[in-house]
Structure 1
Amino acid sequence: MQLDNLSHMGVFAAVARHGSFRKAASELALSASAVSYAVRTLEDRLGVGLFNRTTRSVALTEAGKHLLERLQPALGSVNQALEEMNMYRASPAGTLRINSPRDVAVMVIGPLIQRYLEAYPHISLDIVSDDGMVDIVERGFDLGIRYEEHVPEDMIAVPVWPAQRFVVLGSPAYLRRHGVPRHPDDLARHNCTRYRFPRGNVYKWELGRGSVQMEVDVPGRLSAGDTRLGLRAALDGVALTFLPEHSVQEHLDAGRLVRVMEEWCPPSTRLMMYYPRQRRMSSALRAFVDMARLAV
């Protein structure tokens, strides 16, 4: 096999994984035109189209699906072989791709960046902050960070932060106008921020007291896929919101936000790092996980 064939197949797999030439280019640190050229060259060499392209989407053809299915084990073996060469290096090398919610990236990953990059000068970090639920395998990430209840069961999960508390929040102005909810049933009479995952399903606020656990599909005129919009709405007195306490501490200290229904918001969830069970850990991933565990 010619080496350019192998590199073009890696580019093809990245485009297939992301469903986007632009996102594949970002992952591979290539220009979009270079990615397009590699795919077009591979298609010309094979004599078949691998993608159906429109102005809005990129989808595999039947031939493309067949090629990807056959290629994935081989490309996995190649990547593993390259990773094993790190045993012969003085220090690990490569790129570590991490997916995390925005506030968690700042809180957990941020304090580790300087120490990690200084300790491993041949490793690059690619951090993508995303508040939605992401399939890290499908999207080509090495590591994800999410709250414990959102980690897929087939992943290896490692605690990276103590148990956190989600709290119901409102501005003093909102609470003066609309009253203070005391019980989850009271939320039916309030305007609440509804958080929507990328696939369209709405997050139900998880509340509990003692043995009573509830998932409340709250009403509200604002649905958002970004927690920062929910925070903004709460600060502006538009709606109640439901967020990790640590992420709003400065607003609580300043009196811009007030906790309500505190007895229904017990500490209940931990932040976890997670990665595929069936995949051998790269040296870059192992180094990051070890460093993060020591920091907990």
Structure 2
Amino acid sequence: MKALNELTLFAETAKQGSFSKVANQMDMTPAAVSASIKRLEEQVGFPLFVRTTRRLSLTGEGELFLTKVNCALATLNEGVEEIANARGALTGNIYVSAPSDFGRNLLLDWINEFTDLHENVTVRLELSDQLVDMYSKPIDVAIRYGELPDSNMVAIPLCPQNVRVLCASPDYIRHHSPVLHPNDLNQHNCISFMVAGSVHNHWPLSYDSQQVVIETKGAISANDGDVVRRLGLKGRGIVNKSLIDASQDIIEGKLRKVLPDWQGESVPLYMVCADKRQLRPIIREFQKFLKEKCQSQFDKVSHILNN
């Protein structure tokens, strides 16, 4: 196992670019990490890193070796997981990236439940409404909305029927003029979501054969989906939310659908990974668990909206 530990330290050092960062993460001293890397270099017979006072970077040989080491570690970890799963105990680590609103208000509770069911599973959750580069970051799976621009990735549906809905707090609806047609949105404060500095204030809506895109205006926009949600809950205006994100607030009566006869754009929810080889048993079980949770939540909110 000593050789395996040294390979793991090497891969982590290549990712962090620092002995001290790896030492802190692994509860070791920087000197111990450095000594481990030096032993590995002596075993393979070539330098793995170029060391300067300011930087630690891979040599050409180190870069080639890293690709092989990452593949080997992934295979070994998968083997350990499969053996543990065959014994009836799910085990392993899952690195998850998810949107802020979905992550904070639904996914976090579901992850707590999943790890309670499987005591040997650990989950690391990164919340961001920006698209995470899954090729460069240590992310196993990402939760994403909409169709993928990168067809090389693997996308597994979690909630394919998810759509956007216009909603507002009961207090906002009570104190402002009714919205009977999409054009009435021009008279209301509409809170928009931003991505990469671009404000998503063009809201597509459809009803029977009618299709419109309304350019909305509002006093506030934000690049965090949970902030947009909170502004809606505070009665600051109308929001255009993913139904699965707004589901619990609608179920609890904190938000109400605006223009109930009009349909928002489709935003299917997927679990995404960069390569099908990442679909280890633990990932497949996690996906199955989340899909069941999403379906149950979607059914609950659909029942409220349709009655």
Matched residue, 1:241: 239
- Cα distance in 2 for partners of 1:270, 1:108 equals 16
Name the SS of the counterpart of 2:93 in structure 1.
strand
Q: Does 1:208 align with 2:205?
A: yes
Matched residue, 2:224: 226
> Are the equivalent residues in 2 in contact too, given 1:190–1:220 (CA < 8 A)?
yes
**Amino acid paired to 1:110:** D
* Identity within the alignment, %: 21
Matched residue, 2:120: 122
**Amino acid paired to 1:48:** R
Matched residue, 1:147: 145
Matched residue, 2:106: 107
Q: Does 1:284 align with 2:285?
A: no
> Are the equivalent residues in 2 in contact too, given 1:51–1:64 (CA < 8 A)?
no
Q: How many residues align?
A: 279
When residues 291 and 184 of structure 1 are mapped into structure 2, their CA distance, relative to the original with a 3 A threshold, is same
Question: Computing the radius of gyration over CA atoms, which structure comes out larger, 1 or 2?
Answer: 2
- Cα distance in 1 for partners of 2:158, 2:98 equals 12
Matched residue, 2:7: 6
- Cα distance in 2 for partners of 1:109, 1:3 equals 32
CA drift of 1:169 comes to 2.2
CA drift of 1:153 comes to 2.8
When residues 194 and 40 of structure 1 are mapped into structure 2, their CA distance, relative to the original with a 3 A threshold, is farther
CA drift of 1:163 comes to 1.5
> Are the equivalent residues in 2 in contact too, given 1:117–1:124 (CA < 8 A)?
no
> Are the equivalent residues in 2 in contact too, given 1:184–1:207 (CA < 8 A)?
no
Spell out, residue by residue over 1:128-158, the C-alpha distance to the aligned partner (whole angstroms, 9 max, x if none). 3333332334321111222233574322222
Matched residue, 1:48: 51
- Cα distance in 2 for partners of 1:137, 1:115 equals 26
Spell out, residue by residue over 1:37-94, the C-alpha distance to the aligned partner (whole angstroms, 9 max, x if none). 8589969984434976xxxxxxxx8x55967753542232222331243244434532
RMSD of the alignment, in Å?
4.3
> Are the equivalent residues in 1 in contact too, given 2:167–2:255 (CA < 8 A)?
yes
**Amino acid paired to 1:74:** K
Name the SS of the counterpart of 2:282 in structure 1.
helix
2:68 aligns with one of 65, 74, 88? 74
- Cα distance in 2 for partners of 1:68, 1:266 equals 50
Matched residue, 2:77: 83
**Amino acid paired to 1:235:** L
CA drift of 1:208 comes to 2.5
Q: Structure 2: which 5+ runs fail to align?
A: 39-46, 296-307
**Amino acid paired to 2:222:** A
Name the SS of the counterpart of 1:14 in structure 2.
helix
Name the SS of the counterpart of 1:158 in structure 2.
strand
Spell out, residue by residue over 1:190-220, the C-alpha distance to the aligned partner (whole angstroms, 9 max, x if none). 43222123x3333355423145656655333
1:160 aligns with one of 158, 161, 175? 158
Spell out, residue by residue over 1:109-140, the C-alpha distance to the aligned partner (whole angstroms, 9 max, x if none). 6346435553x443222223333332334321
**Amino acid paired to 1:11:** E
> Are the equivalent residues in 2 in contact too, given 1:157–1:272 (CA < 8 A)?
yes
Tell me the TM-score normalized by structure 2. Answer: 0.68
Q: Which moved more, 1:245-254 or 1:92-101?
A: 245-254
- Cα distance in 2 for partners of 1:157, 1:226 equals 23
When residues 280 and 228 of structure 1 are mapped into structure 2, their CA distance, relative to the original with a 3 A threshold, is closer
CA drift of 1:95 comes to 0.7
When residues 290 and 201 of structure 1 are mapped into structure 2, their CA distance, relative to the original with a 3 A threshold, is same
- Cα distance in 2 for partners of 1:254, 1:263 equals 21
> Are the equivalent residues in 2 in contact too, given 1:143–1:273 (CA < 8 A)?
yes
- Cα distance in 2 for partners of 1:204, 1:35 equals 50
Name the SS of the counterpart of 1:164 in structure 2.
coil
Matched residue, 1:56: none
Q: Structure 1: which 5+ runs fail to align?
A: 53-60
Spell out, residue by residue over 1:247-290, the C-alpha distance to the aligned partner (whole angstroms, 9 max, x if none). 44565466654422333334733322222235343232133234
When residues 206 and 9 of structure 1 are mapped into structure 2, their CA distance, relative to the original with a 3 A threshold, is farther
Tell me the TM-score normalized by structure 1. Answer: 0.70
